[in-house]
Amino acid sequence: MYKYDEIDQRLIDERVTQYYDQTRRYLAGELSEDEFRPLRLQNGLYIQRQAPMLRIAVPYGMLSSKQLRKLGDIAKKYDKGYGHFSTRQNLQLNWPKLEDVPEILAELATVEMHAIQTSGNCIRNITTDQFAGVAPDEIVDPRVIAEIVRQWSTLHPEFALLPRKFKIAVSGARYDRAVAQIHDIGMEFYKDNNNKVAIKIWVGGGLGRTPILGTVIREHLEWQHALTYCEAIIRVYNLHGRRDNTYKARIKILVKTLGIEEFKRQVEEEWSHLKNAPNTISESELARVSKHFEAMPYEALSAHNAIFDAAIASNPAFATWVKRSVRAHKVPGYRAVTLSLKPHGKAPGNATTEQMYVVADLADQYSFGELRVSHEQNLILADIKLSDLFAVWEKAHASGLATPNIGLLTDIICCPGGDFCSLANAKSIPIATAIQMQFDHLDYLYDIGDIELNISGCMNACGHHHIGHIGILGVDKDGSEWYQVSIGGSQGNNASLGSVIGPSFSADEMPSVVQKLIDVYIQERTPEEHFIDTVRRLGVAPFKAHVYADKSTTKLGVPYE
Amino acid sequence: MSNLITLNNGIATISENEWTIVKLPTSQVKERKQAGKVVLFKLTGEETVTQEQIATTEIPASGQIIVPLTVFIARKAELQERLTGNQIGVWVDTHEVLEDLINNVSDLNSLPIIAIHVERFADGRIFSLGTLLRTRYGFKNELRAFGDVLRDQLYFLKRSGYNSYIIRTDRSAEQAIASLNDFTQPYQGAVDEPRPVFKRYNRVST
């Protein structure tokens, strides 16, 4: 992964110094709340319901074991001994003290980490595929350009105070795992007819209050121009995006109102001046950054391993875990492992300090000392030998990191919600855990098969509810918490936004509502269909009919006997 | 003590302000401002500039003055002689469109100063306007930021081509000056240093 040189290090050290002084001035009354807000936000600090929340950047989800240990240390020293991995692949601490934050940032800087631009109206953390570099369907490793974009966007002077937040995702595989289409800018790398790396660019996607999938603004852009083209897009947005209404300030509203043709015309006009400007990426810079992402020193292994095969045959629990948590790797004899942060009944995406230490040790021992965070809020060990899988499973299992539910109904994407977040309309974690307990039955979960359930506590959509096969949104009705349900959303190459099935439900009703949606699917599915396929084939109507058939339902318990 | 910081060849000093700002008279009209290419996105809720305001703007008879863009355009004939004498600068608000300025002046560099007014410090349009004036339109003279100008935005203003800053009057320009140099090695090219770091240094991956 990328390692800092003295230039990178000096910049984050200077940022720490700057923030010490900004915090000092705020505490001394020299900065008002309003003046301090963007400064602290651009260092990841929110003022939350219980305490401040600090969002630490994990650029494109990559972490070293050393960094994860430091995060564990910080969670223990300044917080309550746990952290929350977010859908932007970042780590959030929910209980730090405002006056401790400069010190936390100083500690982070010792392991090449920071919280720069993890919040505020600026270019946020770049996200990507959690299997970048190891996925068999990868065409271009997206982390190289992601790192170059990270550096370019860090303290970009022209885009320091945009109308609203700005999110960029990059993907370089046949199957998009970075959800490029729900980002302000999504970049998909591919090889063009001349076998050169090119970029397809989507613009104006986003969830939140007005969910919109991105539109292609450019089918083909040579990789050298990635930065200058982004500058053209963001300049048009910076100058013309609305600043009078925060709900209409995202670039998607500008693109939608202008229409993609006019927006594109303005961007291309701007870019005609920026093309080949000094920010054009040079071959040597691409080569320099690429060196940080070269293939790991893999051993030459057979595609099969007798120890592994024997363990699968003799240990059903291990075999089950492998089926859900282990993915193909482009190098023979290796696998990518997803450690579940979704044990049933616990807050999705949370990891304790002890778990962080365990994962760091596993990374050191078995996976070249690196790991990744996925936007589905799990942790990934990307380079595990087949012969080591059993040992990894045993250790992960002992630490509650091996729930074999990856990609299943209980692998819920969930924001921190009303328990923590001051923006939330409703709690989300208790809904997630109640659903997990309703379906705490592995055979049944396997029978339901691949499905994505996403929960957000408010329309800001941190839990990506619009793209969940089942999406749950917390809403406020007359001061009480209700939940709106949508179905048919999806990430991936066929991304779609879900449709709301009808009036919202109380928290108590939610497990049985999900149960009924599943019941319809089980009854109507063809043998090869996943939940999303059945929804797409039948539409919302039969699901809606069943869910609302008798609103005074009793809990169904574990069905399918 | 003056609240003006000027930057010359990388050296920042507190300077005396030699320019007088000419303000539009307050309007009674509560229309929404409709400046800009994209009218819809310019609905800032501020008052519009009326012809009456422009006509009744009091222009001092002598001295170096900075006049609102709308007045500059509408009353150019009246200002022409003083313009030639380097006595006239232009005030541009962040919602205004630079093309309106460019199209109304034969040589942008005949203006000794352009002053961009930022009503709220969080309005980042000021950075794009500075960048465009310096890079697209080749403006070489004094580029000033005034209004809600605070020290924590100075570094970005400097990088966006501004070399003159009137710090909000309730704050100390002397203390603010330090923030011009919060960072020594920016990653990306911008107005003050067009080359990104990878073109300034031979960075070697270790």
By CB atoms closer than 10 A (0-12, 13-18, 19+), residue B28 is exposed
DSSP assignment of A440-487 equals --HHHHHHH-S--EEEESSTT-TT-GGGSSEEEEEEEETTEEEEEEEE
Determine the distance in angstroms separating the CA of B23 from the nearest CA of chain A, rounded to an integer. 24
- pLDDT tens digit sequence for A45-82: 998 666 789 999 999 999 999 999 999 999 999 999 99
Determine the distance in angstroms separating the CA of A127 from the nearest CA of chain B, rounded to an integer. 19
- pLDDT tens digit sequence for A294-304: 999 999 999 99
Q: Collect all residues of chain A within an 8 Å Cβ-Cβ radius of residue B147.
A: none
- Would you say residue A193 has pLDDT above 70? yes
Strand A470-477's sheet: what is its strand order? A413-414, A453-456, A470-477, A480-487, A499-500
Judged by CB atoms within 8 Å, which residues 22-61 of B form the interface with A?
36-38, 40-41, 43-45
Task: Point out the least confidently predicted range of A37-51, A81-95, A409-423, A459-473.
Answer: A37-51
Tokens at B150, concatenated: 């605070």
Residue A276, SS3 per DSSP: coil
Q: What ipTM was estimated for this complex?
A: 0.94
Position with higher pLDDT, B41 vs A236: A236
What gap in Å lies between CA A106 and CA A104, rounded to an integer? 5
What gap in Å lies between CA A545 and CA A543, rounded to an integer? 5
Pick A11's closest partner by Cβ from B36, B179, B185: B185
Does the pTM of the predicted model rise above 0.80?
A: yes
Confidence tier at B32 by pLDDT (50, 70, 90): very low
What gap in Å lies between CA B118 and CA B148, rounded to an integer? 6
- pLDDT tens digit sequence for A317-369: 999 999 999 999 999 999 999 999 999 999 999 999 999 999 999 999 999 99
Confidence tier at A551 by pLDDT (50, 70, 90): low
Confidence tier at A534 by pLDDT (50, 70, 90): very high
What gap in Å lies between CA B189 and CA B5, rounded to an integer? 23
High-pLDDT (> 90) share of chain B, %: 82
Using the Cβ of B99 and the Cβ atoms of chain A, whether some distance falls under 8 Å is answered with no
- Would you say residue A552 has pLDDT above 90? no
Q: What is the longest distance spanned by two Cα atoms in chain B?
A: 66
Pick A152's closest partner by Cβ from B136, B188, B204: B188
Determine the distance in angstroms separating the CA of B111 from the nearest CA of chain A, rounded to an integer. 23
Q: Tell me the pairing of strands A480-487 and A379-385.
A: unpaired
Cβ atoms of A64 and A127 closer than 8 Å: no
- Mutate one of A112, A143, A243, A267 to test the B interface: name it (highest B CB count within 10 A): A243
**Chain position carrying tokens 């690429």:** A290
Determine the distance in angstroms separating the CA of B196 from the nearest CA of chain A, rounded to an integer. 6
Residue A263, SS3 per DSSP: helix
Summary mean pLDDT of chain B: 90
Alpha-helical (H) ranges within A275-352 are 283-291, 306-314, 316-325
Q: Collect all residues of chain B within an 8 Å Cβ-Cβ radius of residue A162.
A: 124
- Would you say residue A559 has pLDDT above 70? no
- What confidence score (pLDDT) does residue A325 get? 98
Confidence tier at A557 by pLDDT (50, 70, 90): very low
Q: Collect all residues of chain A within an 8 Å Cβ-Cβ radius of residue B145.
A: none
High-pLDDT (> 70) share of chain A, %: 98
- What confidence score (pLDDT) does residue A516 get? 97
Q: Nearest residue of A to residue B33 by CA position?
A: A244
Q: How far is CA A307 from CA A315, A332, A402, B4, in A?
A: 12, 16, 20, 75
Summary mean pLDDT of chain A: 95
Indicate yes or no: CB of A162 within 8 angstroms of CB of B45. Answer: no
- What confidence score (pLDDT) does residue A479 get? 86
Cβ atoms of B97 and B36 closer than 8 Å: yes
Q: Nearest residue of A to residue B198 by CA position?
A: A285
Indicate yes or no: CB of A288 within 8 angstroms of CB of B204. Answer: yes
Q: How far is CA A231 from CA A152, A376, B81, B125, in A?
A: 10, 29, 40, 14
Q: Helices A65-78 & A353-366, crossing angle to 10 degrees? A: 170
Cβ atoms of B131 and B191 closer than 8 Å: yes
- Would you say residue A106 has pLDDT above 70? yes
Q: Collect all residues of chain A within an 8 Å Cβ-Cβ radius of residue B188.
A: 151-154, 156-157, 227, 279
No. of helices (H) and no. of strands (E), chain B: 8, 8
- Mutate one of B32, B33, B40, B41 to test the A interface: name it (highest A CB count within 10 A): B41
Q: Give the mean model confidence (pLDDT) for residues A253-274.
A: 96
Apex A343 CA angle, A337 and A347, nearest 5 = 115
- Would you say residue A412 has pLDDT above 90? yes
Q: Nearest residue of A to residue B156 by CA position?
A: A157
- Would you say residue B42 has pLDDT above 70? no
Pick B128's closest partner by Cβ from A235, A277, A278: A235
- Mutate one of A239, A275, A283, A289 to test the B interface: name it (highest B CB count within 10 A): A239
- pLDDT tens digit sequence for A4-24: 999 999 999 999 999 999 999
Q: Collect all residues of chain A within an 8 Å Cβ-Cβ radius of residue B194.
A: 277-278
- What confidence score (pLDDT) does residue A50 get? 62
Radius of gyration of chain A (CA): 23
- What confidence score (pLDDT) does residue A129 get? 96
Confidence tier at B69 by pLDDT (50, 70, 90): very high
For A195, left (φ over 0), alpha (ψ -120 to 50), or beta?
left
Q: Nearest residue of A to residue B97 by CA position?
A: A239
What gap in Å lies between CA B93 and CA B34, rounded to an integer? 13
What type of residue is A456? S
- Would you say residue B7 has pLDDT above 80? yes
- Mutate one of A161, A254, A291 to test the B interface: name it (highest B CB count within 10 A): A161
What gap in Å lies between CA B5 and CA B15, rounded to an integer? 6
- Would you say residue B36 has pLDDT above 60? no
- What confidence score (pLDDT) does residue A245 get? 86
Confidence tier at B204 by pLDDT (50, 70, 90): confident
Indicate yes or no: CB of A161 within 8 angstroms of CB of B155. Answer: no
What gap in Å lies between CA A286 and CA A294, rounded to an integer? 12
- What confidence score (pLDDT) does residue A195 get? 96
Q: Collect all residues of chain A within an 8 Å Cβ-Cβ radius of residue B36.
A: 240
Using the Cβ of B170 and the Cβ atoms of chain A, whether some distance falls under 8 Å is answered with no
Q: Collect all residues of chain A within an 8 Å Cβ-Cβ radius of residue B121.
A: 35, 161
Confidence tier at B50 by pLDDT (50, 70, 90): confident
- Would you say residue B70 has pLDDT above 80? yes
Confidence tier at A244 by pLDDT (50, 70, 90): confident
φ and ψ of A337, to 5 deg: -115, 130
Determine the distance in angstroms separating the CA of A458 from the nearest CA of chain B, rounded to an integer. 25
- pLDDT tens digit sequence for B80-124: 999 999 999 999 999 888 999 999 999 999 999 999 999 999 999
